[in-house]
Structure formats: C-alpha cells, structure tokens
Structure 1
Amino acid sequence: MSVRRYRARDMRDAMRQVREHQGPDAVILSSRRGDDGMLEVVVSLDAAPAAGVSSFAQDAVDIGPVDPQLAAMRREICDLRTLLMQQSALSERDQWAARHPLAAQCIERLTQGGFSEKLARSLAGGVQEDGSLDMAWSRLRSRLSASIATSHPTVLEQGGMLALVGSTGVGKTTTLNRLALRQIRRMGPDSVTLVTLDRQRIGAYKQLQAFGQMAGIPVMLLESERDLTALTDRAGEGKLVLIDTQGQAARDAAERRLFAQVRNEVDLETWLVVAATHQSAVLRQVLESFQVCDPAALVLTKVDEAEQLGETLSVLLEQHIGLVFYSDGQRLDEDFHKADTMYLTRLALQEPAHSAPPQQPRQPQEAMLLNPISVDRVPAASQTRNVREDMVLESVLPFGKALHAAY
C-alpha cells in the first residue's frame, strides 16, 4: 500500500495537492492539524475505501474539515441557528400578543370554541385595543353572528313544491314532518301534501304514513321524479307539496343530479339538510357536492349533538347559502326553530343564551295532529317574530378593514 502525507494550510489546499499527485482515486486515511497550525493529510492510492474512510473521488466536493474540534463547532453552530429560528418564531407571536392583548384573548377563545384559526384571526383584526375586554368581545360576537348567512324563503307562505335533499341520516324525513306541522297549524291540513321519492328505505315511507294518518293529510310514494309533474295542481296559492328524497353520499350527489330532468317542467325549490355533527371537511364536501341540486336554503340538524358547534359555523361562514331553520332535539315541534345566528353563536362559544329560541306551549303532539283543524289559522304576518328581528346588532367594522393585522 502506497501511503503519503501532505501538509497544507487548509483542506482545500490539501485536496489540490492530492489531486495533482495521486489523482481522483486516492483515499483519505486521516487528517489532523498540527501544533504549528498546518493541516496534515494521510492518503493512500492502493487501498480500497474502508468503513468510515472517504474516497477523494466521491467526497471531494462535500468532504469538509475532518478536524474533530472544527466538526464539533460546526454542529454546535447549526444547533444554535435552529434554536434561534424557533425562538424567533415564538418571540414574534408573543410580541404580537403583547401589543394586542385583547385580540389575542379573543383568538384563543374562538379557537377553543371550535372556530378555525383563520377565521379567528380575521375577526380579531377588527378588535380595538383601547376598550375593555367585554366591549371587544361583544363587538366580535355581534360581527360573527351577523356574518352567518340566513335565508327567508317565501315558499312556506305562498305555497309550491319544496324538496329536502342531503346525506343519509341527517334528518330529512323528520324535518319534512316538522315543516308539515308548521303548515298545518297555519293553513290547515288541506294545504299540505307529503311526497317521498325514497323507495330504498321502507322506514322513511312508513314514518311519513304514520304522520299523515295522524294529521289527516295525503302521503304519496312516487316511482320517479318525473311523476312530480302530475302534482302541479296541488302546489301554489298557499298549498305546499313537501318532497322527501333518498339519502345519498356526497360523492354520488354530483353524478346523480337530482331533479335535473324536471327542472324545466315544474317550479321546484330545494333545501339542503346538513347535520351539525359533521366534521368540517365532510361538511365542506356535502355543501360542494349538493350544489347540483341548486339549494335555496340550509336546514341545520342535530345542533344539540355537536361537540364543537364553532367548527360547523366556521364552514357555514365560507359559503353563501342562507340558514333558514335548525333543530336541537327530538321533539317534533319544540326543538325546531327559525334561524337565530346570535343564539347559535352564543351556543358555540358556550355562553349563556340571553335569547333562547321561543318555545311553543307544550301539549301532546298526537292531540295537535289528530285535531289540526281546531288550531287557529293565524296569518303569516302576525306570527311571532324571530328573536333576531328584535335584536339590534352593534356597529362593527367590515372584515376587510382591520385595525391591525393578526400574526
């Protein structure tokens, strides 16, 4: 084995000497820096690279100093740089929180309630730091509730065809019964016809049949959506045809395109029923997939079962379809309410609800259904107004005009 030593000022000079005298096949056996400060490199031309020994041809570019002290210093500098970068990021957030303490508290409170961090930062951008925490939170709460889209469709008052669409198990059939009960109390049993297109789930038709028998209203099971054209005489002028549909997965909704064949033949309005128990990603997929049904409004069910209602409201804020009703229990009448975004916002933030949904006088529902004609027919204009209509929201800054940027 041919071994040679080279002395140089640094590793670059040593590698130049090795390249000139030994060629690219030389193997670096060791390197150390002497007491005089010169670097001594031992190389061999004949030996094959052993474990832990670098080939000059392979590692000439990335070899770097092999001096133990210098290598340890490099590792220490690299670790120190990483630590400084981490501390810098934390320091920036802490500094922002120190400059905007009210906004930081609001962001933390919103995220704890399930609202997305992006939404929390956007809302906190309008918090005024020169006020009290109660005032800042009141403005933010009002701003949040006012930003949730609501809808006020006229189909319930004027009559027409109304179909409920949505995923399996969200409560479409129960919602249909609740809407029918409201219509019976307003206009009498002659103003409602129940229709179902769900021929897959027998229980859905039986549930409608049981309700129809108690309420004294007709219930029809149709073969296909084209049969709706024969029911146009039952819709309009205060008469309502409520249509139940088969539940379907969100991925199938876009392919099926429900009611696409009869859109031009019948005047049909659709509402999308969604559950508050859906995770945000699932809810976004449902909202996107059922756009092919052209929903005019949303009905939110199972509010009482949602672990974090703020997660659901965050998704509703991202889209334009307005909320018209929500349900928060199993009772047919008492747990079905018109949309009240302030109440839902307080519920999501786990705050005391200053304005709970109005409750109807409690009485056996069978009695209400068996004697629907005895219920007074009250004009729609004289119905009890929604709590939201009596609520004057504070003047708040629009989303685009933030007083300071969130971190």
Structure 2
Amino acid sequence: MKVKRFMGTNMQQALRLVSQDLGADAVILSSKKVAEGFEVVAALDYQSEQQNPVEVERQLELQRELERAKDMSRERQRARAAGEPLPEFTPVSMPDRAGAQLSTRPSSTPVLEDGKEQSSRPSASSNDSQYHQMMERMSGELSELKNWMVSHGGSAWDTGRPITWKQSQLWQRCQDVGLEPSWSDRIVSQVTEQNDMGRAWKQVLRQMAVDLPVAKQGSLDKGGVFALVGPTGAGKTTTIGKLAARFVIQHGADAVALVSIDSYRVAAHDQLRSVARILGVELHTVAPGEDLAATLETLTGKKKKRLVLVDTAGLASQDPSFQGQLAMLKRACTRKGSGSRMRCLLTLPLTSQGRCLQENYEHFKPAGLAGCIFTKLDECFSLGPAMSVAALTRLPLVMIADGPKIPDDLHYPDAGKLVRLAEQMARMARTRWQAAEAMSLANRRQTGSLQGVH
C-alpha cells in the first residue's frame, strides 16, 4: 500500500493534484479542511478490509519528513547566500515497520539509514546526503503512482460502484457515440485493459458489437407473417415495399400478400396499393373491429402465401384508436391455427431522438415485439440511440434501410460494421463542432479588432 497527502486552497485543486499523481487503482482515504486549505489523503493498493492505520500514518509522516527536508534545503540555501549559520535538520518520529526505516532518538541528534549518529552540528555534505536518501526513498514509494483518479465519484447510474479515471474517459466517449448512459456504464465496467487507452477503447467497441443483438442473416428470406409497427413517418410502408420486392424477385408474386389495417388516415392505403400493383401481389384491407387473425388464416392456409406483410397505422399512444389497433395485433400474434403466427417488428427511424425511440418501444411492447428494423440510415447523424434501445431491450435487429430505393436500400445488419459507422459519425460530429467553434472564435476576434479600430 502506498499513501500520499495532497494540499490545495480548495477541494477542486486538491483533487486536481491527486489527478496528477495517482492512478486508476487508487482510492481517497479522507478529506478535510485545514488551516492551509483542504487536505486529501489518497492511497494505492489499499484494501478496506485490511486497513492498517499505522502503515498509513508511517507513509504520511514520511511525506511530511520529505516536505520538511525540502523546506530545510531552501532555508540552508538562503542562509548560505546571506552568510548566516546553517540551520540544523532533525527528522520527526514516525511509526516503525520491519525493514530499513528512519529511526528517532530522544535527543536532537540526526540518524542516517545505517544508524550512525552525526555530530550536533552536521556538515552540509551529511545533510545533503540524508536529504538525497530521503528523496530516493520517496521516489521509490511513488514510482508506480500516476495519472488521475476519481474513485470518490462513482458511476452515473450506479453511484455505489466506484468508476476510475480511465472508465470515466471511456464512458464519455460512449456518450459521444450516442449510447444511453446505462449501456455505457455496463460496457466500461467490463473493460479489462488497464494500461493503454487506445486498446481499451477498441475493447469497448468490441463489447458494443457483442451486446448488440442481431438476427440471423437471411431470416426474412424464408417468409412468414410480419406486422411493421412504429410511429408515423418511420418508413413502415416503404420498408414493406422493399421486403415484398425482395421476396417477389426470389419466389414470385404469388408467394406474397400485403395487408393494411391503417384505416385511420385519409388515403392511407394509396401508397401500399401502388406498391401492390407494381409488384403484382394481392392487397387486403382490414377495417377497425374486423378480425385480422381470420384474414391471416385465409392467406397462409388456403392461399398458401409464403410471406404476408401487415402495414399498421402510426398512431400516438394517446389516440383513442391506439388501444384498439394494439388489441387487434395481440390477437393476431397469439392466434392458433394453420400457417405461421404473426410477429411484430418495431420500425425505429434513426433520425429520432433516443427518448422518442424508447417511448416507441414501450408503446408497442404489449403487442409482443419479435425484432426491430432501423430505417433512414442515410438521413441520420447518430446510431447510438437506436443501438441502445436494441441492446438494452434485447430486441434483435432484423434489417436496416438506408435509402428510398426499392428493393436496393434494404440490408441485413452486421454488428461490427454498425459500431464502426457509429464511431465514425461521432468523430465527424466532433470535427464539425470543433471547426464551428474555431470559426466562431475567429469571428469574435475579428469583430473585436474592428471595434478597436473604430
């Protein structure tokens, strides 16, 4: 265990001094206000269940001894310059520990490491030798203490668990990527790299990819019954067109059927009707109060459609019709009979804020969500919020839409590529902000110069 005392005019300055000397494995033992300002005592390799007050005090006294030696050295230099008698140096007593330590005597006679006494008025060379010995000892005591630590702060979401300086830096980088704080906290707590920040960040990125649930490649190519749910403007109908077009190319138009339960908006069926006409597939509409499960039973049973896609209305949760549509979807998802049971896929537009995406998940969760689809990748500037929803809810990511083209702009996801793209977006955003800040500063300086001229 290695202990050190820090003094500052205020607590922030004292902690800043801690940040310059102690590393990520250190803890703060105490902090108090003293006559000189604020005192913070921190330790490295400190185990709370094996506290040793004598050892702590011994190392603190060792530090005080070094500080006295430094003050004495400055005083002797001043005395030499002024031609005054050189002051004597007398060590203070410290708790002893097995091994070579500074011993103390009742008299004022200084004692060196080897136990040999000096005269009552030591020479300059003997005092300098003792000073250098103490400096070497302190250098050895503090050789492994480095960097900065904030162990007293805890994490943002779990204040009971300390978070080190390195973890706090990694956590902040996760925020730049757009990750939710709770996911960031979980990721950085799993980092094992302790020395190199670059390698530690790579480990964070790998953990992001591991945490992101991704459905099996080609999972929708086998067919099934899927309802796309989500807010208005999320891209549900366009995504249905892309999925239907892909399946028609592979299996023919007779294998696909489209169903719309969006009877709440004016001309709600027009876009889907255009898609069905172009692709040559069947389109069925189900009005509020009708049995969606019965329609699906007909399509997957008698007509043997391999892929049935259901388009839903993007209703707000406060809309009186929302609960009716939700109940219709739940009945279809739990129906029993021939053919595939319907599964709901949450459509998450990447242009929405993280809180909106979380609320969308909560609103449609009662329908029984089987996965999610990211849309509008080509329009977004941060992947972190949507990735956080998928990771924290364990909702598998099934597809990604990155443009308006049918069926080209629809792909199966790759977790590693998504994480790298998310980091790249964060770097670009930071560069833009830095450039904007530099330009703003230059403009302010130019304005100030012009005002000075006038």
Give me the TM-score of the superposition, normalised by structure 1. Answer: 0.59
How far off its partner does 1:195 sit?
Answer: 1.1
SS in 2 for 1:304: helix
1:293 corresponds in structure 2 to: 367
Give CA-to-partner distance per residue, 1:170-215, whole Å, 9 cap, x none: 1110111111012112211110011111112344411111111111
1:22-64 CA distances to partner (integer Å, 9 max, x unpaired)? xxxxxxxxxxxxxxxxxxxxxxxxxxxxxxxxxxxxxxxxxxx
User: Which of these residues, 191, 202, 205, is aligned with residue 127 of structure 1?
Assistant: 191
Structure 1 residues 143 and 212, CA, compared in 2 at 3 Å: closer, same or farther?
same
Instruction: Tell me if 1:260 matches 2:330.
Output: yes
Match of 2:207 in 1: 143
The residue identity in structure 1 corresponding to 2:172 is: E
Q: What is the deviation of 1:296? A: 0.6
Is the contact made by 1:141 and 1:345 (CA closer than 8 Å) also made in structure 2? yes
**2:179 corresponds to which residue?**
115
Give the structure 2 partner of residue 245 of structure 1. Answer: 312
Deviation at 1:293, TM superposition (A): 0.8
Which residues in structure 2 correspond to 1:7-18 (within 5 Å)?
A: none
1:302-354 deviation digits (Å, cap 9, x = unpaired): 223223222332232211211101112222223211122212111111179xx
Partner Cα separation in structure 2 for residue 213 and residue 254 of structure 1: 29
Q: Find the counterpart in structure 1 of residue 170 from structure 2.
A: 106
Q: 2 CA distance for matches of 1:328 and 1:203?
A: 26
CA change 1:289–1:88 in 2 (3 A) is farther
Displacement, 1:158? Answer: 4.6
1:315 matched to 2:386: no
The letter of the residue matching 1:241 is V
SS of 1:167's equivalent?
coil
One-letter identity of the residue aligned with 1:120: S
Structure 2 vs 1, CA of residues 231 and 124 (structure 1 numbering), >3 Å: closer, same or farther?
closer
Question: Where in structure 1 are there 5+ consecutive unaligned residues?
Answer: 1-82, 353-407
Task: Tell me the equivalent position of 1:233.
Answer: 298
CA–CA separation in structure 2 for the residues paired with 1:346 and 1:230: 43
Contact 2:293 2:331 in 1 (8 A): no
In 2, Cα distance between the equivalents of 1:118 and 1:93?
25
What secondary structure does 2:220 align onto?
helix
SS in 1 for 2:174: helix
1:102–1:127 CA contact under 8 A, matched in 2: no
Output the CA distance in 2 between the equivalents of 1:119 and 1:93. 26
Instruction: Compute the TM-score of the two structures, normalised by the length of structure 2.
Output: 0.53
State the AA in 1 paired with 2:200. A
Counterpart residue identity of residue 232, structure 1: E
Q: Secondary structure at the match of 2:352?
A: coil
Distance (Å, rounded) in 2 between the aligned partners of 1:233 and 1:153: 29
| Alpha-carbon contact 1:167-1:250 (below 8 Å) kept | no
CA distance in 2, matches of 1:128, 1:247: 44
Among 199, 206, 209, the alignment partner of 2:273 is 209
Answer yes or no: is the 8 Å Cα contact 1:195–1:221 preserved in 2.
yes
Distance, in Å, in 2 between the alignment partners of 1:158 and 1:129 is 42
Cα distance, 1:229 vs structure 2: 0.5
Q: Following TM superposition, by how much is the alpha carbon of 1:232 offset from its aligned partner in structure 2, in angstroms?
A: 1.9
Structure 2: 5+ residue runs without aligned partners? 1-8, 25-146, 150-163, 427-454
Q: Is the 8 A contact 2:374 2:400 kept in 1?
A: yes
Q: CA RMSD in A?
A: 3.3
Please tell me whether residue 270 in structure 1 is matched to residue 344 in structure 2.
yes
1:283 aligns to what? 357
Compared with structure 1, are the counterparts of its residues 247 and 110 closer, same or farther at alpha carbon in structure 2 (3 Å cutoff)?
same
Distance 1:88 1:287 in 2: 45
User: Deviations along 1:247-279, whole A, 9 cap, x unmatched?
Assistant: 111445873433234433563221111112222
- Higher RCO (CA-CA < 8 Å; seq separation 6+): 1
Query: In the TM superposition, what whole-angstrom CA distance separates every residue of 1:276-307 from its partner, at most 9, and x where no partner exists?
Result: 22222221111112111101111111223223
Judge conservation of contact 1:162–1:241 (CA < 8 Å) in 2. yes
**Residue type at the aligned position of 1:312:** A
